[in-house]
Structure formats: structure tokens, C-alpha cells
């Protein structure tokens, strides 16, 4: 009987860890975002992936987006200027890069993809407003091709936008620009050698 009780308690602990992290964190989330809970989804980057470094002259890691990078839609009237990026330290076996910007705090049940570009040549280590000729500018969750800046709901919690560079083992994902964001990231997942990520924050 004692053994069964201990097993049940252990199972309950595992269930809590998987579904809600901790009761304390859940309570904190509920206080900061009334009406919306949080759910965990499986990440698209394998645990075996390495890491390298990305920086931006426009935003520091865990810093606020500049006004120039905000969206010109969803109630925002920003210039929607793409964040500039530079990276170093990727694996020598890299055959192409991809870039994404994802908002895990969007109240959609599945986050929100703001920006996807792939098939960036391995010799390229910077990205400005104009992508390399061979790169593919993908379609985000708003149906827009190219960069879509932040515009979180007014009065919502601060949103943490994950800007990620992926070093890939393939020269091309062989996907058209109209490919849905989730299909793009699913296709990319088994090809990821390493990633570099910075987080930018926006709230209004």
C-alpha cells in the first residue's frame, strides 16, 4: 500500500511538471495575464543542436524593440523596418542558414510567426533589409511575406519575440515562399546543426 501511495505521488508530480511547470508559476502567470493560461509545446530544435552567437545593431538581447521595427498593422503604425542581424561561430559544416522571429506570448494557442527567411548561403553572416538573391522570404502567420514587426495586444503582458538563426545541413529546404510557417519549421527541424537566438521585448 505504501509503495502504491509513493508511486501515485510520484506520478502526480510528473504530471504537474509536464502540464503546468509549478503551481507558483501558474499563479504568477494568471495574475500577469488575466483570462489566458499558458501551455507547453514541443520545441522544433533537437537537443543535439549546438549554439553560436547572433547580435543586432538595432536591439540587444532581452531589450526593447526600437520604434522603427514595430509593425504597421494590427493597430500599430510603425515603420516596420526589419531588424538587422550579424552572426558568428556557426559549424563549419553549415550549408545554409534560416532566420525566424516567433512570439510565444501571442494569445493564439500556438504563438505567432512574424518572420521567416531560409536558403541563406553559408558564406553570408549578416542580414539586412534586402535578403541575398538566393534566399527565400517566407509567409508569416498574418499571410505577409517578409518581416512583420511586433504589435502585441494593447494592455497585454510584455511579449518576448525570439529571433533565431539556424545553421542547416542542407543547401535548400526546397519550399516555396507561400509555405505555412509551421510546415517550414517542421521541414527545417531535422536539418538543424546549431542555433543562435536573441530575444526582443514589446508591450503597449
Position 64 pLDDT exceeds 60:
yes
Average pLDDT over residues 68-84: 96
CATH code 3.90.280.10 region(s) in the chain: 46-202
Beta carbons within 10 angstroms of residue 152's beta carbon? 24
Tell me the pLDDT of the chain averaged across its residues.
Answer: 86
Q: What is the pLDDT of residue 35?
A: 61
Q: What predicted TM-score, i.e. pTM, was given to this entire model?
A: 0.82
The CATH code of domain 46-202 reads 3.90.280.10
Does position 13 have pLDDT exceeding 60, yes or no? no
What are residue 115's DSSP bridge partners? 101
Of 24-28, 78-82, 108-112, the one with minimum mean pLDDT is 24-28
- The percentage of residues in the chain with a pLDDT greater than 70, rounded to a whole number, is 83
CB-based contacts of 45, cutoff 8 Å, min separation 6: 166, 189, 192, 195
Task: Report DSSP state, residue 69.
Answer: G
Band (41; pLDDT cuts 50, 70, 90): confident
Lowest mean pLDDT among 30-44, 69-83, 92-106, 150-164: 30-44
Rounded to whole angstroms, how far apart are CA atoms 136 and 161? Answer: 21
State residue 34's pLDDT score. 56
Contact 110, 44 (CB under 8 A): no
Distance between CA 89 and CA 196 in Å, rounded? 9
**First-to-last CA distance in the chain?**
55
User: Residue 81 has what pLDDT?
Assistant: 97
Amino acid at each position: 500500500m505504501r509503495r502504491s501511495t509513493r508511486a501515485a505521488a510520484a506520478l502526480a508530480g510528473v504530471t504537474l511538471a509536464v502540464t503546468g511547470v509549478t503551481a507558483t508559476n501558474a499563479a504568477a502567470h494568471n495574475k500577469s495575464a488575466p483570462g489566458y493560461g499558458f501551455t507547453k509545446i514541443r520545441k522544433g530544435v533537437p537537443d543535439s543542436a549546438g549554439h553560436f552567437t547572433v547580435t543586432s545593431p538595432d536591439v540587444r538581447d532581452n531589450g526593447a524593440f526600437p520604434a522603427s521595427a514595430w509593425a504597421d498593422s494590427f493597430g500599430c503604425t510603425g515603420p516596420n523596418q526589419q531588424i538587422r542581424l550579424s552572426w558568428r561561430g556557426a559549424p563549419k559544416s553549415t550549408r545554409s542558414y534560416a532566420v525566424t522571429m516567433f512570439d510565444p506570448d501571442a494569445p493564439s494557442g500556438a504563438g505567432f510567426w512574424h518572420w521567416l527567411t531560409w536558403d541563406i548561403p553559408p558564406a553570408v553572416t549578416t542580414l539586412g533589409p534586402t535578403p541575398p538573391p538566393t534566399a527565400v522570404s517566407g509567409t508569416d502567420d498574418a499571410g505577409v511575406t517578409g518581416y512583420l514587426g511586433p504589435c502585441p495586444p494593447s494592455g497585454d503582458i510584455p511579449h518576448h519575440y525570439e529571433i533565431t538563426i539556424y545553421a542547416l545541413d542542407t543547401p535548400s529546404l526546397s519550399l516555396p515562399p507561400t509555405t505555412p510557417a509551421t510546415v517550414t519549421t517542421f521541414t527545417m527541424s531535422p536539418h538543424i546543426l546549431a542555433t543562435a537566438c536573441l530575444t526582443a521585448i514589446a508591450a503597449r
